[in-house]
Structure 1
Amino acid sequence: MDFVEKSIQKVNQLGAGGGGGTDSKYFQTTKKGEIHELREELANPKMEKKKEAVKKVIAAMTVGKDVSMLFTDVVNCIQTVNIELKKLVYLYLINYAKSQPDLAILAVNTFVKDTQDVNPLIRALAVRTMGCIRVDKIVEYLCEPLRKCLKDEDPYVRKTSAVCVAKLYDINGELVEDQGFLDMVYDLLGDSNPMVVSNAVAALAEISETSELGQKVFQINTSTLQKMLAALNECTEWGQVFILDSLALYCPSDGREAESIIERVTPRLQHANSAVVLSAVKVMIKYMDLITSQDTLKALYKKMAPPLVTLLSSEPEIQYVALRNINLIVQKRPTILAHEIKVFFSKYNDPIYVKMEKLEIMIKLASERNVDQVLMELKEYATEVDVEFVRRSVRAIGRCAIKLERAAERCINVLLELIQTKVNYVVQEAVIVIKDIFRKFPNRYESIIGTLCENLDTLDEPEAKGSMIWIIGEYAERIDNADELLESFLESFDDETASVQLQMLTATVKLFLKRPAETQKMVQDVLTLATQDSDNPDLRDRGYIYWRLLSTDPEAAKQVVLAEKPNINDDSFTLDPSVLDELITHLSTLASIYHKPPSTFITGRTRMVPTLGGGAHDDEYEESDANITSDMMDGGMGGAQAAPPAMPAPSAGGLADLLGLDDEIAAPAAGGGGMGGAASLAPPGMADLFGGPPAPAPAAPSAKVVLPPDRGEGMQVRSAFVAQNGRVFQQITIENHSPAPLSGFAIQYNKNSFGLVPESPGALGQVMPPQLAPGQSHTGLMPLTATGQPQDSKGHVQMAIKNNVKVFYFQDQCDVLAFLSADGRVERGAFLEQWKSIAQEAALDVQGIGPANENVDSLCPKLEASNVFFIARRKLDGGADMLYFSVKTLNGVVMLAEIGLRPGQGMGRVVVKAQQTPYVSLLAESLKAKLLS
């Protein structure tokens, strides 16, 4: 709730004062000279007049009027015994203290005095206001009053003070740590009042998310654990949520302790607040991993099912949140709701988003015992008015067939009944799912192909057409008129989408291989359409491959085209087990609604794990895709920065001169091509670059910490990317800062910009140590290759390291200069042609270039050592140098670069061009960094 809403509520709750009626009258003031009148009323000695005036000020502030000029007058009203007036003044202070920090200090004495008031409400109000005033100058004065209030005899003051520490930590964390407030809040975990305990937990949880101390802030030991469990029964619903969330991050020592905690948490399942219920479920599911007794688990399942079912009787929004959480729960523990599938049947008045979620859970809970009920329900859904829901329902029938082999025939019969309805979108979706069933169960249900072929005229969507064409091609030998059916599709070949054209091409080739005598002309026509009349590269490539296969070795073509296809699998449980375990720990949060780990959509905060005696367990993410995206270079095209005077761009003619046609530059020596030509263009002092020994490999950069021990639960990882002899290596150092040995190491790389993956599985064993004792470290050099599938990650390489504790995620930035090959020199003529033909470029202006890098003789060898190859140099009027370079990445992408220098001015410009653009901006940034190094 924002400040304006709070203000409106506060004013409306304060009553009518002496004026009678409601407080809405205060929001209707538009008089001229209003500020002057308010100042006079604020100075009125009568309490009721002052109160009325302050209400008017708050009302004006709430609707957006600037009443900061009344700051002194309002603060003068703070010296009062009337609690209602004091609340109003404090509300004004909270809003305007940041804009008037010097005047806000005037209220400090009152704060200090109010924290010693006999009325605990006044003391708590002063503490709360102190935490809300975000002014550094005032913070120092508030330490002593806050220290006293943390030990106040009244629990209401203590619980308010605990939250104030969290707010104060957000303003000045170092001060809070130095003053010992964290220890004082930690002591409150053992308080006799449950509200104080819950607020202390909430404060420590909030601090833990932002603190670098992490584990030191929030530790749960046996004593505090029992206090938290005792407070769980007596504190408010939101206090219970905070305590339960903290318990979910705690790892019991054994199954007996887990059972004991679950027993104390189970009564929360009956709570009226859905957040409390889901938090309790989260704790129980997390702890179930430690329980080995099947009888105990079955008893817990019976207790958990009714509360989850009850959540589905709430309003639609809560239903949706509950369903998204249940979706995760049934993937982790399907037995919990195995007998409750009927509650997930959709009602006619359910919103579409609720219906979709219920449908997903129905498929996950479908079994041979209840599949008839499910199919009957799905068949009913196929008559709904919402087209998208109907499609999903028909597709769900196919998913049930793939999931339950014994029920596949019943699913097929239901689909055939739906096809008989002749409803266009129902028929098309049925064809799509039947194709999947054919792939799952080949040579079993082909008798229904005739029924499908009767409905060809209703197919007008690409996916449905592609599915039908696949069926005709796959079973061409069983369809007498398969050639006629395919010819009917070929009539509109040019108008079809690329996916349909690809299916038609493959199906026709299959038909030809099975019945060559009848379809030779057809296959020639299709191959001609694909290779000569189409501008789709995928279609042309496949067409040429088929053409060459058929013309050279028909038997080989049969082995390729008619090869046995792998069966498709049930996709009901699609989440990776490690991701699912991570999401289970975040039930009842946004992560459970998005079905994504928090690291993918939250940046800058990490929830640290409360531990027993300093150990750490459970998953923790910090680096995320969102972080990676936010770290993208802003320089792109150079337009976002305040650019210095631009380097003059050479004209087309000037560029031709640059490459050997200008009298200023010597022509290549006779008979000297390639390297000799480049040497003749080299500036003085650079001849050794092109004729002498190769430049030495760059030294390995110093490894940086990519996984600190607080995030790695005692394991620290350092990383550095190294280029040597045309190969890329990653130097990985693993250090054990934990009190226990680490073992079972494994590493995995995510898709990245460079397609970097380990050269061989054997390399992993050389880099990862078998075991690390406490205090030991291990360094390994991982050879990498660029054979993986590239994916734009803006130069970041994401990795996961697994040990005997869990899986940890981190990332490192790989400089594109480490990804360049030694054969990146482009011949001058080719350079000119490519430079002219490429319009798109990345340009960066550079300021602060040192004298050494302004000197061409020293800059070029430096770049050459990183496989950035000098092509030519051209001097412009005014003394500017234009240098031209070429590079080639390990996966074959050639890029051209222009570096413009203004000697003596410390400024320049980098321009990079390439036909393929994934690394253009990365190279521009790297060259800029080289100029500034």
Structure 2
Amino acid sequence: MSDAKYFQRGKIHELRTELNSEKKDKQHTKKKTVLKKIVANMTMGNDMSPLFPDVINCMQIPVLEIKKMVYLYLINYSRTKPDIAVMAIPTFIKDAEDHNPLIRALAIRTMGYINVDKIVDALIDPLRHCLRDQDPYVRKTAAIAVAKLYMYDKGLVESEGFIDLLRDLLADANPTVVANAVAALTEISERSDNISLKLNMTVSNKLVAALNECSEWGQTYILEALMLFVPQEIGDAELLCERIAPRLQHANSSVVLTAVKVIMYLLNYMTKEEDITNMCKKLSPPLGNRSSGLFLGGPEVQYVALRNILLIIQRRPDVLRNDIKVFFCKYNDPIYVKLAKLEIMYRLSNAINVDQVLSELKEYATEIDVDFVRKAVRSIGRLAVKIESTADRCISALLELIQTKVNYVVQEAIVVIKDIFRQYPNQYESIIGTLCENLDNLDEPEAKAAMIWIIGQYADRIENSDELLDDFLFTFLEEPVEVQLSLLTATVKLFIKRPSAGQELVPKVLRWATEDVDNPDLRDRGYIYWRLLSTDPVAAKAVVLSDKPRISTESDNMEPVMLDELLLHISSLASIYHKSPQTFIQNAKPKFLVPSPVLNSRYPGQRRNHDSDFGDLLSGSFGTFEANPYNVNTVNLGDNIVENLLLDL
């Protein structure tokens, strides 16, 4: 019969009566039934604490099933009734010496959960004996109990020598015991300021040998611990990687990702490029095969894998260079998976596979999901900037998308075309007319700012550029700052390139920017332009129309120092957020590559002294500034500003 019958609200006095019944019950069947009812009510949130003394009396019954329920009850209510809980200590000690290893382990586990001072004191001797118990099940349970005890009382664990006992368990013959000891020591090491777990090559080899016989979670614990091994000699990292590599074929995604993390870590300590290349090839199948454990799970598991892969390919792009098709989006992928795949597709794209990628992106740009379409259109523009040989095809694809007249597609296309103009000046200006046909569809700040930049940049080639800017200026004061800044610069460019066309717009825009807005960036730029135009128009032309630096795709890459840190946190929240754990976990210990004779020095001069740089900037020749930056010679900038500027230009 189903246990659902036990999940009914029971009255305390009725349950007490049944629990204390003196009727003959040799098999303790009735007591089992009553305890099941109590546990069921406790699970539903009903307060069963008044039955505490009655339940404790059942601890004497030598039946494992009853003891499990009683111990579960004690764990739940001991903190609220510590005075009564101490009554269970004699039975706990007796059970810790029981001939049945399951009962011994159960007693130790339960005492470790109950954070009551007297019970903790009573736990010390039984726990010490259980750490040396003949049965491996008891030893592995005791190892975890030490970690729980450490969270409650760090000083007690250290003073009683439990750390040394845990270290002894690393050489245990049973792999499950080894795994639990590693898990406990790792947890303690992360929480302690003065205890640090460090592995040498001998211990690391023993841990790797235990992998084959461990459960999947035991393997994960051991692999995590191997991150604490720092190779000191040539060949140590290579040997360990070879022994860990079979874990990459595991069906459990956690084991696979943790193995990838350890191998990525050890690659930093390899000295031969040939060995690094071979190991990168071994990383490709688990990360780039749809049949691997990472892609057989649900979309949530896939997303975790994709976020980690995004980090890996930034450090080792060769790992998945030939597996880009794996990351093509499927129609039933959730949006967060699709967006993660798009980013990976962009990073893995090159001159060889760009045609496949571009074809996929054009198809994605016709989907119905707005966010996905925007990302696809933007990726087409980023491809044009990244791979020069495909710029023509990307422009053609973007023009096709603009012809669809879909509002958000058109606006996103204009945003990326601006970047293409920046990257390839004087090559694709013939499409400006097509862009100007869609001015009425622009209602997003970024798209407006991009279009205004294009108009200002090519004001001398667009016949009615002054009229177009005047239309935008009609709502200048209501526009977001991003659009206002773009309008200000574009108007000044128009005036410098075509003075007669911009002579009516410049004074108006400068006054708005310096008198009618509150944003300091906008006011600063307005005053700078005003000062330049009124004092040295030639310098103004040189500054405003100076050659712009080409856009670099390197800006898409993560800072090397941050990337190194995140690669040490693969398969954790940090690798999903792409943020250091210290930013969202209190008291999290930072991880870094420990110096070693075989540590690769990839980034010479990477860690610069920023204070020194700042000092150099301060000591540079900036000329003199007035105390009030807004105290400019506005008296000389009257209504005749345009006439004076025209003469100077």
**TM, length-normalised to structure 1:** 0.62
Aligned equivalent of 1:506, options 486, 489, 494: 489
Distance change >3 Å, CA 493–CA 241, structure 1 → 2: same
Aligned equivalent of 1:242, options 183, 204, 221: 221
Within a 5 Å distance, the mapping from 1:147-162 to structure 2 comes to 147-162=128-143
Find out whether 1:171 has 2:146 as its counterpart. Answer: no
Q: Which runs of 5+ in 1 are unaligned?
A: 1-20, 610-616, 620-712, 714-742, 750-756, 764-783, 786-890, 893-933
Q: Report the counterpart of residue 618 of structure 1 in structure 2.
A: 593
Please say if residues 550 and 557 of structure 1, whose CA atoms lie closer than 8 Å, have aligned partners that are also in contact: yes
Q: CA deviation at 1:267?
A: 0.8
Q: Report the counterpart of residue 303 of structure 1 in structure 2.
A: 282
Q: Provide Cα deviations, 1:304-363, integer angstroms capped at 9, x if missing partner.
A: 111113223421111111101111111111110001111111111110000010011111
Structure 1 distance, partners of 2:16, 2:127, is: 37
Amino acid at match of 1:247: L
Structure 2 distance, partners of 1:148, 1:317, is: 43
Structure 2 distance, partners of 1:359, 1:324, is: 11
Q: Report the counterpart of residue 287 of structure 1 in structure 2.
A: 266
Find out whether 1:257 has 2:240 as its counterpart. Answer: no
Find out whether 1:316 has 2:299 as its counterpart. Answer: yes
DSSP-derived class of the 1:563 partner: coil
Q: Report the counterpart of residue 634 of structure 2 in structure 1.
A: none
Please say if residues 200 and 229 of structure 2, whose CA atoms lie closer than 8 Å, have aligned partners that are also in contact: no
Distance change >3 Å, CA 126–CA 343, structure 1 → 2: same
Find out whether 1:24 has 2:4 as its counterpart. Answer: yes
Structure 2 distance, partners of 1:534, 1:107, is: 74
Q: CA deviation at 1:236?
A: 0.6
Aligned equivalent of 2:580, options 597, 609, 612: 597
Q: CA deviation at 1:220?
A: 1.5
Structure 1 distance, partners of 2:225, 2:487, is: 58
Distance change >3 Å, CA 290–CA 535, structure 1 → 2: closer
Q: Report the counterpart of residue 343 of structure 1 in structure 2.
A: 326
Within a 5 Å distance, the mapping from 1:490-889 to structure 2 comes to 490-534=473-517, 536-571=519-554, 573-606=556-589, 618=593, 748=609, 757=611, 761=615
Aligned equivalent of 2:212, options 223, 230, 233: 233
Distance change >3 Å, CA 439–CA 45, structure 1 → 2: same
Aligned equivalent of 1:81, options 62, 77, 101: 62
Distance change >3 Å, CA 304–CA 759, structure 1 → 2: closer
Distance change >3 Å, CA 499–CA 761, structure 1 → 2: closer
Q: Report the counterpart of residue 113 of structure 1 in structure 2.
A: 94
Please say if residues 494 and 501 of structure 2, whose CA atoms lie closer than 8 Å, have aligned partners that are also in contact: no
Q: Report the counterpart of residue 651 of structure 1 in structure 2.
A: none
Q: CA RMSD in A?
A: 2.7
Q: Report the counterpart of residue 14 of structure 2 in structure 1.
A: 34
Q: Report the counterpart of residue 347 of structure 2 in structure 1.
A: 364
Distance change >3 Å, CA 95–CA 758, structure 1 → 2: same
Distance change >3 Å, CA 65–CA 274, structure 1 → 2: same
Amino acid at match of 2:593: D
Q: CA deviation at 1:384?
A: 0.7
Distance change >3 Å, CA 96–CA 529, structure 1 → 2: closer
Aligned equivalent of 1:220, options 183, 187, 199: 199
Amino acid at match of 2:323: E
Structure 1 distance, partners of 2:329, 2:149, is: 49
DSSP-derived class of the 2:452 partner: helix
Q: Report the counterpart of residue 372 of structure 2 in structure 1.
A: 389
Amino acid at match of 2:577: Y
Q: Provide Cα deviations, 1:635-658, integer angstroms capped at 9, x if missing partner.
A: xxxxxxxxxxxxxxxxxxxxxxxx
Q: Which has the higher helix share?
A: 2
Amino acid at match of 1:225: S
Q: CA deviation at 1:198?
A: 0.3
Distance change >3 Å, CA 485–CA 605, structure 1 → 2: closer
Distance change >3 Å, CA 550–CA 360, structure 1 → 2: same
Within a 5 Å distance, the mapping from 1:410-559 to structure 2 comes to 410-534=393-517, 536-559=519-542
Q: CA deviation at 1:387?
A: 1.1
Amino acid at match of 1:189: L
Please say if residues 394 and 429 of structure 1, whose CA atoms lie closer than 8 Å, have aligned partners that are also in contact: yes
Q: Report the counterpart of residue 77 of structure 2 in structure 1.
A: 96
Q: CA deviation at 1:293?
A: 2.8
Q: Report the counterpart of residue 67 of structure 1 in structure 2.
A: 48
Distance change >3 Å, CA 248–CA 379, structure 1 → 2: same
Distance change >3 Å, CA 414–CA 159, structure 1 → 2: same
Distance change >3 Å, CA 530–CA 93, structure 1 → 2: closer
Structure 1 distance, partners of 2:613, 2:589, is: 33
Q: Which moved more, 1:343-352 or 1:499-508?
A: 499-508
Amino acid at match of 1:618: L
Please say if residues 6 and 37 of structure 2, whose CA atoms lie closer than 8 Å, have aligned partners that are also in contact: yes
Find out whether 1:276 has 2:255 as its counterpart. Answer: yes
Structure 1 distance, partners of 2:419, 2:22, is: 78
Distance change >3 Å, CA 437–CA 397, structure 1 → 2: same
Distance change >3 Å, CA 42–CA 390, structure 1 → 2: farther
DSSP-derived class of the 1:506 partner: helix
Amino acid at match of 1:40: N
Please say if residues 364 and 572 of structure 1, whose CA atoms lie closer than 8 Å, have aligned partners that are also in contact: no
Between the two proteins, the alignment pairs up a number of residues equal to 610
Distance change >3 Å, CA 542–CA 226, structure 1 → 2: closer
DSSP-derived class of the 1:478 partner: coil
Please say if residues 363 and 572 of structure 1, whose CA atoms lie closer than 8 Å, have aligned partners that are also in contact: no
Q: Report the counterpart of residue 7 of structure 1 in structure 2.
A: none
Amino acid at match of 1:69: P
Q: Provide Cα deviations, 1:52-91, integer angstroms capped at 9, x if missing partner.
A: 2222222222222222222221111111221111111111
Q: CA deviation at 1:391?
A: 1.0
Q: CA deviation at 1:290?
A: 2.0
Q: Report the counterpart of residue 733 of structure 1 in structure 2.
A: none
- Where relative contact order (Cα < 8 A, 6+ residues apart) is larger, the structure is 2
Distance change >3 Å, CA 592–CA 228, structure 1 → 2: same
Q: Which has the higher strand share?
A: 1
Q: CA deviation at 1:569?
A: 1.5
Please say if residues 581 and 588 of structure 2, whose CA atoms lie closer than 8 Å, have aligned partners that are also in contact: no
Aligned equivalent of 2:382, options 393, 399, 406: 399
Amino acid at match of 1:457: D
Amino acid at match of 1:368: A
Distance change >3 Å, CA 31–CA 289, structure 1 → 2: closer
Q: Provide Cα deviations, 1:273-312, integer angstroms capped at 9, x if missing partner.
A: 1000000000111111222333323322222111113223
Q: Report the counterpart of residue 864 of structure 1 in structure 2.
A: none
Please say if residues 19 and 31 of structure 2, whose CA atoms lie closer than 8 Å, have aligned partners that are also in contact: no
Please say if residues 331 and 573 of structure 1, whose CA atoms lie closer than 8 Å, have aligned partners that are also in contact: no
Distance change >3 Å, CA 397–CA 253, structure 1 → 2: same
Q: CA deviation at 1:571?
A: 4.8
